[in-house]
Structure formats: C-alpha cells, structure tokens
A and B are shown apart, each in its own frame.
Chain A
Amino acid sequence: MDGAKVTPGRTAGLYVGAAVLRLAIFTLLPGLPDLLTGRVEISTPVTSFKRLQEGLFLYNHNVSPYDGGVYHQAPLFLPLFSLLPSFASLPIFTYLLYIAVDLLSASALWKIADSGEAGSSALFTSSRREKRWSGFVIAAVFLFNPFTVATCIGRSTSVFTTCAILHAIAKAVAGAPLGAMVALSFASYLSMYPLLLLPPLVLLCYDRQRPERATKSSLQFAGICASIVAGVVAILFQMSYFITGSWEFLPSTYGVQLTLSDLAPNVGLWWYFFIEMFDSFRSFFLAVFWLHLSSYVGGLTVRIRRQPLVVMTLLLGIFAIFKPYPSISDTSLFLALVPLYRHVFPLMRYTFVSAAVIMYASFLGPAFYYLWIYAGSGNANFFYAITLVWGLGKSLLVCDLMFAVLRDEWEVERPEMAGKEIRQI
C-alpha cells in the first residue's frame, strides 16, 4: 500500500472521489440524510443537526436560541449557518460546507501522516518506522470510513470539532504552536472535552518546536500555551456573549455536558447509569464520571512522554468510550488516527477480536435500538447491552494499541528481545 508515488492528480482524485460520494448520497438518496440525522448513534443532544436548526430558527427570529432547552451547541454555529442560504430552500450549500469540513480534516490528517511523527518523535524513534502507510492511504481510510461518511451525511456538528482537533495536531506537528493552540481552543469551545488534550498537545508542540525560535524552559512554554488557549477561549466566549446577548449559553452548552441533564439514549455509557441513579448521589457520580474521564490524561502523558501523539490518539479513543454524549463521529476520529501506527500493528494481539466486536456492535446496535423503540419487543437493556459491547470493542482496541506502542518502545530499549514472547511479572 505504501511506496506508491503520490502525484497531485491522485490527491485531487481522492478528494474529488470523497466529495462525489457524499454529494451522490445527499442527492440520490434524499431520505437518507434526515434518517441518519435522527439516529441516536450519530446525533447526540449536543451535536444534533435537527437541534441546530431549531436553534437557528429561534436565533433568526430574535429569540434566545437556548429558550426551550433543545439547542445545546455553541452559539458561534448560529451566525455561521445563518450566513449560508436557508437550508430549507438550498440545502446544497450546507452539504458543501460539511463536505468541505471533512476534506479539511482529511488534509490535516494527511499532513500528520506525512510528518512521520507517529514513527519517530523528537525523543523516540521506532525501529519499525519504515513500515508505514502514506498520507494518501490514511486520508483515504478516514474519508471512506463508513462512520465518517455517516457522520457527514447525518450533518452532526461534531465534524467541526473533529476538524479542529486534527488541525491542532497538524499545526503542532508542523511546529506552529500558536496555530495548534488556537485550533485546540476552537475544538474546546465547540465541545469542551478537547480541553483535556491540552497537556499532550503542549508536549507535542514543545517537542516539535522549530529550532530557530525554540523556548528552552518547558514550564514557560506550557504557561504561554495555556494562556493562549485561555485567551482565545475568552475571546470566543465574548463573541458568543455579543451574539446571544447573555451568558445563558454557558449552562445550556457546557452545563448540559457537565450535568447530563438530557438523558436521551446514545452509544455511550452514561445515560443508562444516570437514569438508574438515586437522585441524592447524582451529583457525586457525575463528578466521578468526569474525574474518571480526565484521570487518564495525567497518567498517559507521563507514561508515554516520548510520544505525545500516541497519548492524544489513546485519549481520543478513551473519550470516544467514556465521554457523556459520544457518537460514532468520535469513534471515526479515533479510527482515523489509528492507521498512523501501521508500524506497530504486528505487535497488536487482538486486532481480529476488537475488529469483530466493533463490527458486531455496529450491526446489532441499530437492530437492538429498533427492537426497543419501534418494535417494542425489547427494552432499554437491549440497547445498553450492545453499547457496552461497542465500548468493550473500542477499549480492546485502545488497550491493544497501547500495548503495541509500549512493546515497541521496549524493543528499542532492548533490541535483543525483539520478537520474543513476553510475560507479565
């Protein structure tokens, strides 16, 4: 797969192919976008396109978009989408916007792949790095991944977060800390959870600084990065305040994610748990779930200090499992980054199992949801059980990738052990 020369023609071909595929689905299957928009696997309360339209309608009629408690997304989406011609009359422009965002994400991914950061970072060079896929292949895997396509067709606003995160990584790899921090601020502004990626991203930026203008002190560098993020987020908040005229958007967007006030079913693990939760323990367990989600950041960053990109990949995988409103779009982002580690694939032990489990869950999930909601012959446990399996598949993949990366590090340290069986002691 690798080694093939990437010509401009092939690049254009890939992008055109992905765009045509999406446009074809949009135009030839006009019922499909709305069907996918309604699927719980794609649209969560904080990313749903339907809710965005509701907020947009209120915003265009000079009513606060957060009235009615339907819209939970960032206020800056509203002016962006009201600049476009009305969705009802000319949907093609919305389609084109979503396709463009997907292509932008793919180009960022391409840059990350071509930088070779996955195989050899500043502090670590894998002995297997020669065996990798080109940016073309990785971008193609992302663009033609059914999860990515479904997210794009379902017009979930999480594609914007995906794009911002990928651009943050691409900028960091390219040695542009400022651009990386601004991109991460946008991602955090849109979805809040990417803020947890700040520590590994700062490390990645620090490692990939251009030598001519490198800051030596790591603490100073981290301080500058954190203040850039804080500043950009503050500016975004201020703009949101001017747009909506009040700070109401803070509890309606981030508050909903923090308190999980909308218990609509999704592919994550939170909703079922909090439906069953005793009211007096609700706030405590909300805190526990959030702490659990964020506790991985410190440990992973310390452990895999030499490869910050791996940390970010693993964290994105963990977020896709454990965040409050996950959708398949988060999984598609994780699956987009996994192929960067083609060189450690031979070290992974459960590729077949995890791939099978993920596919099993993605086929049975919709079926079980149908049984529960429409056919009425199942209940909520059916759907929750399959989301557990889905989470299990992804955590298998995360663990396996982590194992492979650590084994790779270890083989560099002790080349004589390469290829030998290992055992935990």
Chain B
Amino acid sequence: MQNVLHWISQHEQYIYIVVLMIFLGIEVIGRVPSVLHTPLMSGANAIHGVVIIGAIIVMGKAEHDNYMAIVLGFLAVILGTLNVVGGFVVTDRMLEMFKKKK
C-alpha cells in the first residue's frame, strides 16, 4: 500500500497529464464531421507511433554484447518507424484528395 502511495506521489505530474489528456482527447475531436472519421483515425494511429521513442531508447541503451536486447530493440525501431511514417503518409494521401476541390 505504501509502495503504491509512494509511486503515485512520485509520478504525480504524470498522473495529472493522464487525467488532463483524457479530457483533452475527447474534447479535441468532439465535433469532427463523419467525413473525416477515416483520416482522423489514421492520423491518431500515426500519433501513437510516438512509441518509437521508447524503442530508440531501448536500442540506444543496449550493451554491445547483449544480442537479445539489440535484436528486440532493432525490431522495435523498425516496427515503430513503420507505424509513424506509414501512418502520416497514408493520412496525407487521404487528405490530399480532399484538398483538390474547393
């Protein structure tokens, strides 16, 4: 119990972020027209690709003789990049079509 309380007080800021982001996430897309549902889903998909940063840290911290960590980190970096790059490019492609007409 004490551990949990300690952890909470240690991560107070982070817990604030979580709570505020939940409300913000809901507010921000609250008024999206259904036309944009697909691009929005795709764009949000690209944004959670931010997990790539964790992958880079894992990769960058791996010792040279720790092959397991290197393999895992390398795979994670590739997969994370796919998520980010693929996500943003696909979203842009979709939105490009909307842009053409006025």
Partners in one complex: no
